[in-house]
Amino acid sequence: MTPLWQREPVGVVGLGLIGGSLGLDLMAAGAQVRALVHRPATAERARERGLASAVSTDAAVLEGCGLVVLALPLDRLLDPDPALLAALPVGAVITDVGSVKGPVLRRWRELLAAGGGPGATRFVASHPMAGTARAGVEAGEPGLFRGRPWVATPEAGTDTEALQAVRELAEALGARWLCCDAEAHDRAVALISHLPVLVGAALVQAAAAGGGETAAGAELVRALASSGFADTTRVGGGNPELGMLMACANRAALLEALDHYRQSLASLEAMVAAEEWSGLQQSLARSQALRPDFL
């Protein structure tokens, strides 16, 4: 059977990096894309860039969509505009792209259970794991999802047709489809995505504090910093609002990840303090051996 995204118009709510990239790929694939944005200037620029067939600041633009992708930042996803909720078509499949799944799932289950709209079973929580450092209406780019994981976190009650419709959309964009439960997803992204933000941010602050005791020391630290320092701190020096929103939405899993991290670091530090050099070398060798699993 023809995939839903080919049979019926696809709604995209928000045209930032994820929504804009989604629009470009779907337009290129021949879909009809109807986009809802917040500001008139964004709508105008989105039309110029050809991110969707129709762009509006009026939620009525979503009328007739068989599938709606909520490409909103976490805070707006967790506290959506009532006009958006009211405009979601009855029976439509709804999915989101939030980087934390437990809170989104709980919130939208509750919002959609109220009835009159698509219904809670038609909501498929998902997370396309693609990104660049860019944001906003200029950020969308073709092929962003190709080869990247697209994780869905269905529940027992999730409609299998709805799940299949989102899977077909993801696979049409070249993403690798994965399913897991929301808690496992949130624990995993805490470890490999949210923890590195804090780890890198703390490293920048430590270098500034440690080098900054004298002006000459601060200048020296800056002069000597190399590509290793730049790489280790790249995500730690990223968008502070995004970092905060992820930490806020995934607090419990992040605190658990920090606990694992503190233990790993304390163990390395203890070996340095105790001058256990062969133990330190063995531990570093373990990190070297484990790392390729994550690449």
Judged by CB under 8 A, the chain residues 56 through 115 that form the site for a copy of itself are none
Report in angstroms how near the CB of residue 190 gets to a copy of itself at its nearest. Answer: 8
Taking the C-alpha atoms of residue 89 and residue 152, their distance in angstroms, rounded to an integer, is 22
Q: Which stretch binds a copy of itself (CB under 8 A): 12-20, 49-57, 106-114, 259-267?
A: 259-267
Report in angstroms how near the CB of residue 245 gets to a copy of itself at its nearest. Answer: 8
168/183 with CB nearer a copy of itself: 183
Residues with Cβ within 8 Å of residue 251, at least 6 apart in sequence: none
Report in angstroms how near the CB of residue 148 gets to a copy of itself at its nearest. Answer: 8
Long-range CB contacts for residues 50-57, cutoff 8 Å, separation at least 24: 50/24, 51/15, 51/19, 51/20, 51/23, 51/24, 51/27, 51/137, 51/140, 52/12, 52/15, 52/23, 52/27, 53/9, 53/27, 55/15
Phi and psi angles of residue 167, each rounded to the nearest 5 degrees, phi first: -60, -45
116/212 with CB nearer a copy of itself: 212
Taking the C-alpha atoms of residue 233 and residue 118, their distance in angstroms, rounded to an integer, is 43
> What 8-state DSSP symbol labels residue 133?
S
86/230 with CB nearer a copy of itself: 230
Q: Which stretch binds a copy of itself (CB under 8 A): 21-29, 49-57, 114-122, 200-208?
A: 200-208
Query: Beta strand pairing status for 126-128 and 149-152?
Result: antiparallel
Taking the C-alpha atoms of residue 102 and residue 250, their distance in angstroms, rounded to an integer, is 8
Report in angstroms how near the CB of residue 157 gets to a copy of itself at its nearest. Answer: 21
Q: Which stretch binds a copy of itself (CB under 8 A): 27-35, 61-69, 117-125, 188-196?
A: 188-196
156/289 with CB nearer a copy of itself: 289
135 binding a copy of itself? (CB under 8 A): no
154 binding a copy of itself? (CB under 8 A): no
Q: Which of 44, 48, 63, 269 binds a copy of itself (CB under 8 A)?
A: 269
Q: Which stretch binds a copy of itself (CB under 8 A): 18-26, 35-43, 52-60, 184-192?
A: 184-192
54/242 with CB nearer a copy of itself: 242
| Helix residue spans in the chain (DSSP H) | 4-7, 17-28, 40-49, 74-78, 82-87, 102-113, 160-172, 182-189, 195-211, 215-224, 227-232, 240-249, 251-273, 277-290
149 binding a copy of itself? (CB under 8 A): yes
Q: Which of 1, 156, 215, 290 binds a copy of itself (CB under 8 A)?
A: 290
Query: Residue 162 in contact with residue 92, Cβ under 8 Å?
Result: no
How open is the CA angle 206-131-186, to the nearest 5 degrees?
Answer: 75
41/192 with CB nearer a copy of itself: 192
Query: Residues 202-241: x/- map of binding to a copy of itself (CB under 8 A)?
Result: xxxxxxxxxx----xx--xxxxxxx-xxxxxxxxxxxxxx
